[in-house]
Each structure stands twice: as C-alpha cells, then as structure tokens.
Amino acid sequence: MSTSVELRDVTVSFGDAPVLSHITLEVAPGEILALLGPSGSGKSTLLRVVAGILAPDGGEVLIGGRAVTDLPTHRRGVGMVFQDNQLFPHRSTRDNVAFGLKMQGIGRDERRRRADEWLARVGLDGFGARAVTELSGGEAKRVALARTLAAGPSVVLLDEPLTGLDRDLHDRLAAELGDVLRGAAVTTILVTHDRHEARAIADRTVHITDLGPPRT
Amino acid sequence: MNRPPRSLVALLAIGPAAALVVFYAWPFATLLVEALDADAVRSTIRRPDTREVLWFTLWQAVVSTAVTLAAGLAPAFLVARYDFAGRRTLLAVLTALFVLPTVVMGAAFLALLPPSLDRTVWAVIGAHVVFNLAVVIRTVATMWEHLPPDMEWAAATLGAGTWRVAREISLPLLRPAITGAAAIVFLFTFTSFGVIRVLAAPGTRTLEVEVWRRATQLGDLGGAAALSILQLAVLAIVAGWSAWSQRRHARAIDLRPGQRRRRARTRRERLAVVLIGGGTALVCAAPLTALVVRSFSTPTGWSTSAWRNLGRPEIRPGIRIGVDPWDAIRTSLVTCAWATTFAVAAGALASLAIAAARRAGRLLDLGLMLPIGTSAVTIGFGILITFDRPPVDWRASWWLLPVGQALIALPFVVRTTTGVLRSIDPSLSDAAATLGARPWRAWWEVVVPHLWRPLTVAAALAAAISLGEFGATSFLSRSGRETIPIAIERLLGRTGSLLQAQGYVLATILAVTTIVLMVLVDRSHDVLSGPHRAGRGEDRVRR
C-alpha cells in the first residue's frame, strides 16, 4: 500500500546553524522521487525528519494525509535504507531481513519463507544463513534493501543507497533498484548527489535548494 | 638498537622482584600450605556455618550485581547518547563515589539510611549498588557511545519500539561490556569487606569477613586459609567465565570513534534526561551529603563539637574510648608516606626494568599485577601468618603495614609509569648513541627523565590507596596505632552520638582527601601519553 508524503514548512537547525529552512515537499502515492543536492545541504536530515529520527523545530510532516510529526519512528510505517546499511551484526542475513516481520508478530516459519523470498528477489538466493559481516559491499546493500521492503512499509527512504560501490556494480544495482521499488509499488524518496543515478531510478527529480523559500 | 646493558636491567629488576617474592609469593605459599592441611579443609567445609557464609556471600553479590546493572543501564544510555547540562558533573560525582574507600562508603550509607534500615542486608546491597554504579555506567557507556545510533534507528524504522530496540539490538550488541561490568561488580561485591564491617549487623559475614573473623577473633588459621583459597577459586572461575564470555560475544561491530552526542529535542527526551540524570545524581550525591551533615549533627542540634573534639579521646573525664581520632590521622599520614615511598620506589625500578627488558620484562610485569587479583584481606592474612616466627617475626615492625599497603598499590604504580616509558620512541636512544652516548648514558638521558611525571601521578594514586586501605590493614595494624579507616569502623560501631559523629568526621576527611588526590590523578591523565591508564574503570583496587 503506497501512500503520499508531505512536508509543510519544515525547519531544522542544529544549535544556531539552520540545516533545513521552511522546506515544503509533496510526494504522490507510489512515486519515486530523487532528492538531489551537494553534501551538507540537509538531504539526509530531511529523510530523518520524515522517518521520525529527528524532530523538526518547526513545520509538519504528513504521511497519507495524516500528521505524524509527533508519532515515534516505529509507528510511522516508514522504511529506511541507511547510507552504511546498518545491518545487525549479531543476526544472520535471514534474520536481518525478517526483523520487521518479527516486530509485526509474524510466526517464525512464515518469516523465514518471506525473508528467503525477498533474498531471492534481490538476487541473494541461498544467502539466508550467512553472517552479515561476511557479505560484500554490494550484497550488504541488497540485504539492507530487502530488509526494508520485507517489512512492507508504505514509504521507503533511501539515503545514498549506492554510494561507495564500484562503477560497474553501481550501474547494475541502480537499474535493479528501480525495478524492485516499482515492483513493490512503494512511495520512495531517494537521496543522492548523483544526477545519473537519480535519472536511472526515479520518476521525478528535485533539488533540495528548490524546496525552500528563495534565498535572498 | 641501543638498549641499556643487561646488567643494568637486572640491577633494576632485582629489588622489586625480591619484594614480590618475599611479600607476595611467600605469604601466598604459606597460605596454601596452611589451607591444604586436609583436616582444615574438611572440617571447614563440613561446618554448616561455612555453607551459610558462602550462600550469603553468593546471593548478596548476585543481587547487588543484578540491581547495579538494572540501575546503571539507563544512565549509561543517557551519558553515551545525550549532551546535557551537568553531564560532566554527573560523571565526576560517579567517579568520586567510585574511588572512595569501602569504609567511607559504608559510613556514608549508615549516615544516609533511617535507623530502621541500618545494619540490614538491604543497606549493604544499596551501598554496593551506589558504589559500583560507576563501573556499569562507565563501561557500558563507553561501548554504547561507539555503537552507531543509526543501527538502533534502523530497527525503529522496521517497527521496533524503544524497549524492543533495547532488547533486540542494543543489549545484545553491548553484551561484552555488560558481561565485563557484571563480572567486575560481582567480584567487588563477592569480596565485600569494609562495607559489611561498617554497615551490616555484627553477625553478617561474607567470606572475607569470615576469613578475618576466624583468623583474628577465633585463631582458626587453618579454617581462614581454607576459606581464602575457596574464595580465590570462586573468583578465578568468575574471571575465567567473564573472559570467555566476552571473547565469545565480541562481534565485528562497526564501532565508530566518537559518535556525536545530541541534545534532547522532544519533550519526551527532555523528561527522560531530567528524570534519569537527576535521579542518578541524587542517588550518588545523597550518601556523601549525609556523611557531612551527620558529622555536624548531635542530639541537641547542629554543632561543630565532633570536629573540635577530634583530639580528645576522653568522652568523660577519665573515660577513654580506646580510639583517638587525631592519633589515627597521624598514624595514617605516616603509614601513607612510607607506603607511597615503598610503592613508588619499587614501582619506578620495576617500570624501568620492564620497559628496558621488553620481552623478558613481561614476566615481571605479570607478576607485579598479581596483587590486583588477590583480595586485600588475603594479602594481609598471608603476610600476618608468614612473618610471625623468628627469624622473620616482623609483626611488631612499624614497616610491615606500609609494605602491605605498598604491595596493593604497586600494580597501579607500575601500570601508570610503564605505559609512558614504553611509548618512548627507541630511535631517541639511537640518536643519543650517534651523538656519542654510551648505552647506559643514552638510557639515563632519554628514558629516565620521562619517569618523573607519571611517577607523581602514581604517588597520588598510591597515597589514595594507602589512606583508604582497610582489608590488609585490618590484619596488620597494631592496637593503639589505628589508621583512619580502622578508627572509622571502631567509632561507628560504638553507641553514643559524639563517637558516631567523630566517625563521620573522619570519614568526611578521608572522603575529601581521596577525592582531591583522585582529581589530581585524573587531571594529570590528560597530559600523560601512553596507552596504559590506571585508576579508572576496572583498574581499581578494592580496599
């Protein structure tokens, strides 16, 4: 089930330094939006505000038309793939992918079946029992994506998901990523500083500096 | 390579090595021989009160450890993840408590608790918890600080609430730190001596107290030795289990140096900071405050009489109580001066030898660390039964007590200085040699000057350890020559408000002195280079 995401006049500052200033953004249900901008421009901060990891100093976040600004992360139905994956090192690859299902109270056999299904979908058939610390960079990325999508979020946030991969793998994964996201029909915000990547994956591309009021 | 000559290394090492053999290895062997007397072991283990003592020692240690862990995890999270006003102060108060002598901690709790809780096992457990809170908070927070917060957030984006994140992600990943802290707290509480002697009812006995009671009150040396060895065996098992468990659960976690702490942003976060931070600060500050307050309180109101009458052992004309607080201060200062001198001299020689000998130095290094793993009571008891017959009947010698205390402080002196000496670039000696210095001269010019600074820190550390030492001192101090901790225990064990208040005065003086010394040590740590730091975290000696 995909749903819309809306940011209204969102402002975040760290101490005296404003990071996001009066940002307004709308993402349609099922849309894949790429958010571009140089490093330090607040792209990741924006994702964290949507995920509820960071509370904005001002403004509102709406998911599916409902204000979620005060809702804790785990109740927002927002999945996120972190820049450095953040796979849980004390769990197997399969248990990582099944983590969201476990939180939903789904039984062990069903979790296992669905986790393996997702692993197969991202091209990692038979990787279930592996330790995540033994995965290569590309494999870890796929596991992180499978883990996020397996939980069935209504919104997916991708924070520079392909950074740090070699060119070859990067291009291949970019193509696959678009397919997987469209297959899951999930509203997506993709943060990147790579125009080509944005074009390869997203339906629409916006630049973060275009989201706030014009700077004077 | 231009190393100092072997003869010099041997010359440096011989003194400390001999001291270790005479005052540690020999007493330890005597203890073993005494304990291995089959009759002693059999009759001691068969006695029902031995089983009672063992059971009490075990369960109070387990409960103390569990409660300390439960109480320490939330503040550890707070300290690791949040920046808030008073964070440094909170850590400082925790550290201050942590370095207090056990007797002072017992006294502080006695001062704090209402009479209905005094002398109960719950008072003991409470004191153990507050005392060891710093172990849990510091050990766990250090690891938590390096655990990427995004890993916890990743779990939250997958639907895990706060408790679920803690249970499924944070706690399993922190397991090595938690196990380590638990093992240390268990060892400290299992060997609790000073706190029990001051705070618990007279019949309350841990193994340590029982060793002391049998040895000094009942004259049952064999039984006491058997119990000492039994205790050492339990400690070795726990230490071994802890090391094994930590190795097993250590994971290749992507630990990041210096994760950024953040300020509380939401109302919920701010509330948590106030409640957890404020609560912890209150729990830590209360006993110390109570100690000072009680030193000024008399049945007729506030008064400085206990402070003014320190030097007057007569409570009424002609009636003496047998403990002269002012004398105790003098005895402690003299003992401390000698213990510090012994520890620093032996430690300096040993550190120079260890640093110069490199590989062979490791054996000496290891040997000098042994007293850390042995309880102070065991050390004192061993010395007492070894040097009690001619030609080594040294029990009446003034220097035996400072030697015992120096032995306990020695590992800390060596830890503080060796690290600095080892970090000296060997090519400096080579450079000196190319300028015409002979090996011993190069060593003298390049290495020795680096000794003074860490040695000053080590001296402060040794002084703090000596001043608060209670376990070994209980065996080695002579009647009429009580040190401050012994005097505190005696005074607080008596009835009469003036005596009690005098006990609290002495405890306050000792607390302040210890804290000042440890602040000096802590400050100087920042200017000392070298990987080994003493006097912090688990590097603590229990006195």
Using the Cβ of A134 and the Cβ atoms of chain B, whether some distance falls under 8 Å is answered with no
pLDDT for residue A214: 59
Closest CA to B146 of B256, B271, B6, B21: B256
User: What backbone torsions phi and psi does residue A92 show, to the nearest 5 degrees?
Assistant: -70, 170
Distance CA B334, CA B123 (A): 33
pLDDT attached to residue B459:
92
CA A212, CA B8: separation in Å to the nearest integer? 74
Give pLDDT tens digits along chain A (216 positions): 678 999 999 999 887 888 898 999 999 999 999 999 888 888 999 999 999 998 899 999 999 999 998 899 999 999 999 988 999 999 999 999 999 999 999 999 999 999 999 999 888 999 999 999 999 988 999 999 999 999 999 999 999 888 877 788 788 888 888 888 888 889 999 999 888 889 888 999 999 888 877 554
The highest-confidence range among B237-251, B402-416, B435-449, by mean pLDDT, is: B402-416
Contact (CB<8Å) B148/A84: yes
Q: Say if residue B288's pLDDT is above 80.
A: yes
Confidence of residue B534 (pLDDT cuts 50, 70, 90): very low
Q: What is the pLDDT of residue B158?
A: 96
Whether the per-residue pLDDT at B402 is higher than 80: the answer is yes
- Mean predicted lDDT score pLDDT of chain B: 85
> How many CA atoms are closer than 13 Å to the CA of B356, on its beta-carbon side?
28
Contact B157 A148 (CB under 8 A): yes
Residue B15, chain A, CB below 8 Å: the answer is no
B443-481 residues labelled b (16+ CB within 10 A) or e (exposed): beebbeebbebbbbbbbbbbbbbbbbbbbbbbbbbeeeb
- B254 near A CB under 8 A: yes
The pLDDT, as a whole number, for residue A171 is 83
Is A151–B265 a contact, with Cβ atoms under 8 angstroms apart? no
C-alpha triplet A32, A37, A43: angle, nearest 5°:
70
Most confident of B115-119, B237-241, B492-496: B237-241
Q: Are A182 and B189 in contact (CB under 8 A)?
A: no
Q: What residues have CB less than 8 Å from B211, skipping those under 6 apart?
A: B224, B227, B228, B231, B377, B378, B381
pTM for the whole structure: 0.84
The mean per-residue pLDDT over the stretch B139-168 comes to: 92
Instruction: Compute the nearest-CA separation of A94 from chain B (Å).
Output: 15
The answer to whether B160 faces chain A, any CB pair under 8 Å, is yes
Q: In chain B, which residues have their Cβ closer than 8 Å to the Cβ of A45?
A: none
**Mean pLDDT value across residues B248-269:** 70
Phi, psi values for residue A206, rounded to 5°: -130, 155
Helix H or strand E segment including A6: strand A5-14
Q: Are B416 and B456 in contact, with CB atoms under 8 Å apart?
A: no
Structure tokens at A19: 């990071």
- Tell whether B148 is within 8 A of chain A (Cβ): yes
pLDDT score of B541 more than 50: no
The span from the CA of B401 to the CA of B186, in Å, is 28
Max Cα distance, chain B (Å)? 78
What's the pLDDT at A167? 82
Q: Are A66 and A4 in contact (CB under 8 A)?
A: no
Given this model, what pLDDT does residue B182 score? 93
Q: Which of B189, B207, B179, B166 is nearest to B49 (CA)?
A: B207
- Report the residue of A71, A103, A104 to disrupt the B interface, i.e. the one with the largest count of B CBs within 10 Å: A103
B426 cis-preceded (ω within 30 degrees of 0):
no
Q: Give me the residues paired with residue A187 across strands.
A: A155
Q: Which of B256, B286, B274, B287 is nearest to B75 (CA)?
A: B274
Q: How many CB atoms lie within 10 A of CB B79?
A: 27
Residue B14 forms contact with A (CB below 8 Å): no
Nearest to B220 by CA among B210, B231, B232, B205: B210
The CA distance from B409 to B472, in Å, is 12
- Polymer length in residues for chain A: 216
Mutate to test the interface with B, among A83, A88, A133 (most CBs of B within 10 A): A88
pLDDT higher than threshold 70 for residue B358: no
Q: Which of B328, B507, B476 is nearest to B407 (CA)?
A: B476
Task: Name the residue among B158, B172, B266 with its Cβ closest to that of A100.
Answer: B158
State whether B173 and A55 contact (CB < 8 Å): no
Is there a contact between B189 and B238 (Cβ–Cβ < 8 Å)? Answer: no
Report the distance separating Cα A35 and Cα A44, nearest Å. 10
Token pair, residue B111, equals 């001062």
Whether the CB-CB separation of B380 and B475 falls below 8 Å is answered with: yes
Q: Closest chain A residue to B164 measured between Cα atoms?
A: A103
More confident residue, B433 or A82: A82
Nearest to A99 among B153, B155, B161 (CB): B155
Contact status of B266 with chain A (Cβ, < 8 Å)? yes
Alpha helices in B191-324 (DSSP H): 194-199, 207-212, 221-249, 267-272, 278-295, 305-308
Q: What is the mean pLDDT of residues B96-113?
A: 89
Name the DSSP letter for residue B424.
Answer: S
pLDDT given for residue A157 in this prediction: 95
Dist CA B165 CA B152 (whole Å): 6
CA pair distance B539, B306, nearest whole angstrom: 35
Q: What is the pLDDT of residue B301?
A: 81
CB pairs under 8 A between A and B: 73
Domains of chain A: 5-210 (3.40.50.300)
DSSP string spanning B441-477?
HHHHHHTGGGGHHHHHHHHHHHHHHHHH--HHHHHHP
Which of A72, A89, A148 lies closest to B253 in CB terms? A89
In this complex, is the C-beta atom of B83 within 8 Å of any C-beta atom belonging to chain A?
A: no
Query: Contact B158/A148, CB-based, under 8 Å?
Result: yes
Question: Residue B537 pLDDT more than 60?
Answer: no
How long a stretch of residues is chain B? 543
Contact B148 A73 (CB under 8 A): no
For residues B470, B474, B479, B482, the Cα torsion angle rounded to the nearest 10 degrees is 0
> Which residues in chain A have Cβ-Cβ distances shorter than 8 Å to B168?
88, 99
Nearest to A74 among B150, B161, B173 (CB): B161
Q: What is the mean pLDDT of residues B136-140?
A: 92
Handedness of CA A160, A165, A167, A173 (dihedral sign): negative
Interface predicted TM-score (ipTM):
0.91
Nearest residue on chain B to A96, alpha-carbon basis:
B155
**Contact residues on chain B for A90, CB-CB shorter than 8 A:** 172-173, 251
* pLDDT > 70 in chain B, percent: 92
Tell me the residue type at A19: V
Cβ contact B339:B406 at 8 Å:
yes
Collect contacts of B307-316 with beta carbons under 8 A, ≥24 apart: B307/B505, B309/B498, B309/B502, B310/B502, B310/B505, B310/B506, B315/B496, B315/B498, B315/B499
B82 CB-near residues (< 8 Å, 6+ apart): B261, B262, B263, B264, B269, B273
CA B89 to chain centre: 21
**pLDDT for residue B375:** 86
With CB atoms and an 8 Å threshold, state whether B252 touches A133: yes
Predicted pLDDT of residue B536? 38
Q: Which helix (H) or strand (E) holds A206?
A: strand A204-207
Structure confidence by residue, pLDDT tens digits, B474-502:
999 887 788 999 999 988 888 777 888 88
Check: CB of residue B169 under 8 Å from CB of residue B160. Answer: yes
Is any Cβ of chain A less than 8 angstroms from the Cβ of B155?
yes
Shortest CA gap B163–chain A (Å) = 11
Report CA torsion sign: B1, B6, B11, B15.
Answer: positive
Mutate to test the interface with A, among B158, B249, B262 (most CBs of A within 10 A): B158
